[in-house]
Amino acid sequence: MLTAEQNDRFTRVGPGTPMGKVMRRYWHPIAASVQLNEENPTKEIRLLGEDLLLYRDLKGKVGCIEPRCAHRKANLSYGIPEENGLRCAYHGWVYNETGACVEQPSEPSDKKFKEKVCLKAYPAEELGGLVFVYMGPQPVPLLPRWDLMVWDNVTRSIDAVMLPCNWLQCMDNSLDPVHFQWLHRYWGTWSIGRRKPAEERDRFERYTLRSRGRKHMRIGFDRFEYGIVKRRLMEGETEQVEGWRIGHPILFPDVLRVSEDYWHQFQYRIPVDDTHSLHLIYAVEVPKPGETAPHQDHVPYIERPLYDEKGRLNIGTVPEQDEAVWVMQGPVSDRTTEHIGVTDIGIIMFRKMIEDQIKIVESGGDPINVHRDPEKNKCITLATEETYYPGYTRTGGPFVETPLVPPEVEASLE
């Protein structure tokens, strides 16, 4: 369990907090590119406890500024996009992506008043159909060019849901392999069965509740340069299976990479504030060998509902079941009274990593997974088990021949 001080340090993300300072060293995706268009050129957002405004100007450039005009505090979400920035609806002042006031049409032209006016602004960049924002100190690190963001000949999609809970209970789940057979296979199918008509329920439960999924025999975790790799060995498997040999990564601080067959996913658990997280899923489908992915003019985006028509949490998919149990823990989970078991060694490793990164930032260094090498950043390919990579005919792609090495920490569950 955590002390009250640790729980506070790890969960609070507002300005000036230890974890807030760590989080501000990373680029965070906060919107889909298609959400800023001709019909809707502005979008109010909240990120790391701050209210901000995204906008796209007439040249297509995206900016992120504070949401109220410095003149008389009108809401800039009603502003008009211009070629040089966003024009306030009230008196026509224009702000560019740096927050600088570049026009004051109602003020004398011979005055330098506008040079004294500047809104808070943060760097914003687009990649792979997402809008990323960086809220930390200079120099600004590189926006990571993960493989899913830059691969050619793939199909991409984005969906997201706002959750009324803290980011850390979302990420704790990523370091917890054994919940799958209970949350998803047992509770998930039971809950889905409860929502079926009575005449279908018995047959559904007869064929699903009896199958709880294979038992986890061993779990293992490794630190690597971008975070932690999670491995699992299921009943009836040998150490040669990709789930143990390769595993899949958790990218510090708030991203899970999962994949299956021709599908890859990044699941971002974005800290909106201390009690809200945006769960954004970035999915990529790799075409089968010899096939070509359909052309996409843009990456489509769907905003998913958290609750169904009866006001109950949606539980129809694996991500929705994860989201449901995160929300069930309340706005901020009380880790001072939890009872950590053998199966929680990954969570313990992740929390130790959090503490280490807080100390690194407090001493003026770069935490793990901050990118500054342009050559390495051209395309960062991540190892993920049981999935196809572009140009490969076997799952595991370039990592299929990687030598098997023992995990850094391991637990037997037999």
**For 170-191, what is the mean pLDDT?**
86
Tens digit of each residue's pLDDT (9 = 90 or more) over 236-264: 999 999 999 999 999 999 999 999 999 99
Q: Evaluate if residue 193 carries a pLDDT over 80.
A: no
**For 83-110, what is the mean pLDDT?**
93
Tens digit of each residue's pLDDT (9 = 90 or more) over 293-314: 999 999 999 999 999 999 999 9
Least confident of 50-59, 116-125, 201-210: 201-210
**Percent with pLDDT over 70 in the chain:** 98
Angle (CA) 266 272 274, round 5° = 120
Tens digit of each residue's pLDDT (9 = 90 or more) over 219-235: 999 999 999 999 999 99
* Residue-level pLDDT at 194: 73
* Residue-level pLDDT at 205: 67
**DSSP, residue by residue, 182-225:** IIIIIIHHHHHHHTS-HHHHHHHHHHHTT---PPEEEEEEEEET
Q: Evaluate if residue 323 carries a pLDDT over 80.
A: yes
Confidence band for 111, pLDDT divided at 50, 70 and 90? confident
* Mean of all residue pLDDT scores within the chain: 94
Q: What is this structure's pTM?
A: 0.94
* Residue-level pLDDT at 115: 85
* Residue-level pLDDT at 170: 97
Q: How far is CA 198 from CA 190, 192, 205, 312, 383, in A?
A: 13, 12, 11, 19, 44
Q: Evaluate if residue 192 carries a pLDDT over 90.
A: no
Confidence band for 49, pLDDT divided at 50, 70 and 90? very high
* Residue-level pLDDT at 210: 52
Torsion angle of alpha carbons 174, 175, 181, 183, nearest 10°? -50
Q: Walk me through the domains of the chain, giving residue ranges and CATH numbers.
A: 31-134 (2.102.10.10), 147-412 (3.90.380)
- For the chain, state the CA radius of gyration: 23
Q: Evaluate if residue 11 carries a pLDDT over 90.
A: yes
**For 89-118, what is the mean pLDDT?**
90
Angle, in degrees to the nearest 10, between helices 318-328 and 167-174: 130
Q: Distance (Å, rounded) from C-alpha 121 to C-alpha 351?
A: 31
Residue count (the chain): 414
Q: Evaluate if residue 332 carries a pLDDT over 90.
A: yes
* Residue-level pLDDT at 326: 97
Tens digit of each residue's pLDDT (9 = 90 or more) over 20-44: 999 999 999 999 999 999 999 999 9
Q: Distance (Å, rounded) from C-alpha 386 to C-alpha 242?
A: 6
